[in-house]
Amino acid sequence: MFINRKFFLLRRFNVHIICNITLLARSCELLLGVLRDRFLWRLRAPIDPGEIRRTERWLATARVFLAISALTAILMDPSQIGYSLWAFAFLLFYIAQGVLIMILLRRHQVSTARFRVLVHSADIFWPALILAFTTGQNTPFFLFFVFVLAAAAYRWGLWETLATAASSVVLLWIESFAVRLRLDVWFDKVLVAHHWPPLHADVGDFEPKRLFMRSIYLLVMGLLLGYLAEQQKQLRAEKAVVARILGKARVDEGLAGTLQEIAGELLSMYGASRALIASRESHSHRLYVGGVSKLGGELSEFHWQSPSPADGEMYLYECPANTTYVRRTGNNGSRGFSILGLDRNGMKLSDVTMSSIELLARHYEFERLMTVAFWFGSEWQGRIFLFDPSITGDTEEELRFFQELVRQIGPAVYNVYLLSRLRRRTEAMERARFARELHDGAVQSLIAVEMQVDVLRRQSVKDSTLVTEELGRIQGLLREEVLKLRELMQQMKSMDVDSRKLLGFIRDTVERFQRETGISAKFLSELKEPKIPQQVCRELVRIVQEALVNIRKHSKAKQVLVRLGIRNDRWNLVVEDDGAGFPFEGRFSQQQLDALGKSPVVIGERVRLIEGELTIESIPGQGSRLEINVPQQREAAYG
């Protein structure tokens, strides 16, 4: 009879377990069915090893603090663990384990994945073991399960947190099964027989009804914590993707290079076969279409097509949806298109129609198509096409992210376009200026020399003395024009000057000035290793070059001194000569010179670029002194 009753209870218990587990599985399946697609996002943000180490340190500190707090609560009310010495021993062992983990994390700079899994497994096991000695629903040890769920969420994500909750539930039901088999009584007998204190385990909380509610608590808590962790990781992954693609927008690559890099990233991210970018300028209505394709893992170069004006209806068609996902439906005999569209706010639209989809399908073979429209103010509008992308998650969520991604990288690409256009205009202006300088300077002088040589050739028969004098004068003119051309070529050169090259560059400039003009020139520096931003270095060199040109042309000086140092926490550049000086006497600031209309224009503009202060001191007939002071805090702006 006893055996039959025990078998009956065991079978009833198993039926209870099967029903409860079935109900839990169905509940979790319904809850996760809504969220499954949302978390199948293709990208994960890389986690910095330092961040992993900081997370493990915080978890280790929280583990020890929680265990000590639980021990303090038990010491204040020992009845909560039934006065079991084994419960105290297990709790003290858990505290010792937490302290050991803290020591290991302090000693080792890297936390390996295997170490984290081992620590997490122990965090699941010990609370389930200690919980066997507690009484009542308000036991402080149940917080240990909340801690291990939060640790899984911090370390990993949704599925790992749910697995942790399921593991905790399984351990609790295994303990309940052991209680049903009265293994706790058998352990007490074995311990007493060996003169050890009994377990004094509390079996009241392992009734199936109570344990079922605790299991529900753990699974729901794991789902919620995992959901929040997955949301945070998805936002971080999206932020990393946006930052990575924004880093591809570089002015030195030009507009085509930037579009090549960004389109390549989009193809890799979405697994698409082709990317097209169509745009139109509002004032000229000219259509631009360019794209890249990916065949066999190789990315082609970005190339501009030559569309006809009629192709504008195919690429830049009127559509109420800002972002669309098009999928072919049906068989070969009757194929159509299924279209999902979102407006500019990311809201789903119903009954979206695209009049140009058939025309687009005749030009490009595709089964799936993603498009997003963009605007750059009132100047540009366009659309991006991704052919045959792989949508692994929820389509609406993928479209919203694609829309937000284009919205954030669009201004960066537009800035690259504006800067490239500005650079082209600047280069055109520079070429025009150099052409004007050559025409008004060297060309005119060479024409005059040619005319004088012709006159001299005719007079050479009559007076040879006059020929000698004229040849000397012409030689001087040619030497002057050679110097002007060298100065012009020096200005045309692009300079890559930083603080390491600054002193040598200025010294070479001064020495070349002395060799070419015969004017005694010297450079003195009070700085050995200056820490000056690159742009400031470049402008200081240009200022020295312009000042020396002015001295050669206008001052008739015999000696020049260039000095670089620091005055009152400012970089100080001084250029002085003993020539004719400026057409004024005294010491004037840049504002005063601007008011008088006597400021050197080129030098003044370069001083303003680096937010410096220009001062000119002049004594007519005795020389001039040009001084520039640049604040050192400009390093923060350039650095």
pLDDT > 70: percent of the chain? 75
Residue 430 has pLDDT above 80, yes or no: no
In this predicted model, which residue has the larger pLDDT, 623 or 394?
A: 623
Query: Tens of pLDDT along 7-46?
Result: 444 444 444 444 544 544 454 444 444 444 444 444 445 5
Residue 458 has pLDDT above 70, yes or no: no
Residue 639's pLDDT is 33
Kindly report which listed range (74-83, 103-112, 224-233) carries the lowest average pLDDT score: 74-83
149 touches 220 (CB < 8 A): no
- Domain 253-414, CATH class in plain words: alpha beta
Query: Tens of pLDDT along 529-568?
Result: 788 888 888 888 889 988 888 888 888 889 999 999 988 8
Kindly report which listed range (139-153, 216-230, 448-462, 502-516) carries the lowest average pLDDT score: 448-462
Per the listing, tokens 């694609």 go with 402
Residue ranges matching CATH 3.30.450 in the chain: 253-414
Residue 636 has pLDDT above 50, yes or no: no
Residue 466's pLDDT is 63
pLDDT confidence of 148, banded at 50, 70, 90? confident
Q: Work out the mean pLDDT of the chain and round it to a whole number.
A: 77
β-strand pairing of 559-567 with 520-525: parallel
In terms of C-beta distances under 8 Å and separation of at least 24 residues, what long-range contacts does 337-345 make, across chains too? 337/361, 340/395, 340/396, 340/399, 342/396, 342/399, 342/400, 342/403
Per the listing, tokens 């002088």 go with 445
Residue 164's pLDDT is 86
Mean pLDDT of 294-314: 80
SS3 at position 215? helix
User: What topology is assigned to 495-638 in CATH?
Assistant: Heat Shock Protein 90 (3.30.565)
SS3 at position 415? helix
Residue 637 has pLDDT above 60, yes or no: no
In this predicted model, which residue has the larger pLDDT, 157 or 440?
A: 157
Query: Tens of pLDDT along 332-389?
Result: 656 688 888 898 888 988 877 777 788 888 888 888 999 999 887 777 888 899 999 9
- pTM: predicted TM-score of the whole model, two decimal places: 0.55
87 touches 130 (CB < 8 A): yes
CA 175 to each of CA 57, 184, 206, 334: distance values in angstroms, whole numbers, following the listed order: 31, 9, 8, 61
Residue 247 has pLDDT above 70, yes or no: yes
Residue 417 has pLDDT above 70, yes or no: yes
Residue 434's pLDDT is 66
Residue ranges matching CATH 3.30.565.10 in the chain: 495-638
The Cα–Cα gap between 152 and 149 comes to 5
Query: Tens of pLDDT along 377-401?
Result: 777 888 899 999 988 777 888 888 8
Residue 355's pLDDT is 72
The Cα–Cα gap between 417 and 14 comes to 71
Residue 20's pLDDT is 46
Mean pLDDT of 466-472: 67
SS3 at position 33? helix
